[in-house]
Chain A
Amino acid sequence: DAGVTQSPTHLIKTRGQQVTLRCSPISGHKSVSWYQQVLGQGPQFIFQYYEKEERGRGNFPDRFSARQFPNYSSELNVNALLLGDSALYLCASSRGTEGASPLHFGNGTRLTVT
């Protein structure tokens, strides 16, 4: 079975631009979460979507938005990019949102803002 796939793998943008990152969950998984990982730190939660509805949001500005499509794939959008947005963006899927549902992560999109 295919794992969580993310595209693109690498991306370079300049300050002020907008970026869209894409994620395809494992087949049968209805929940998708997004995390940001800055170099040297653990991943930080951005969003969770379940059945196309936003179920949670981390402490990120409104420049960050996301959506989930009927096929459960997801997009993360970041507007007005700042240098500090440079990070590895990770997508994770799970069957549900319960505490016992393990998350399965993709290998991320490396975003560099110059």
Chain B
Amino acid sequence: NAGVMQNPRHLVRRRGQEARLRCSPMKGHSHVYWYRQLPEEGLKFMVYLQKENIIDESGMPKERFSAEFPKEGPSILRIQQVVRGDSAAYFCASSRPESLPNSPLHFGNGTRLTVT
């Protein structure tokens, strides 16, 4: 009964490159959240998706960031033309929509992105 799986654990990119972060939800979960954690800060909501649909992207920067959750395969958070300020830990959580908000979110181990 695997939990939320994220990969890679660590990702190093040079300025201007693209970063792709992957998240596989827990079994039976159809909804995914992405959060970003900057050093010394709490987790900031980015986007909430269900398969093939973005429900809420109010926390996503308007440019360079995109997210998807295809019918098959993991959810992908994509950052184009990365800058040093994108260096952070990116966490994913999954849920069954019918259990919200009566069940906690369980998080993956995160992807630590470093932009050099």
| A is bound by B | no
**Residue positions of A touching B, CB distance < 8 A:** none
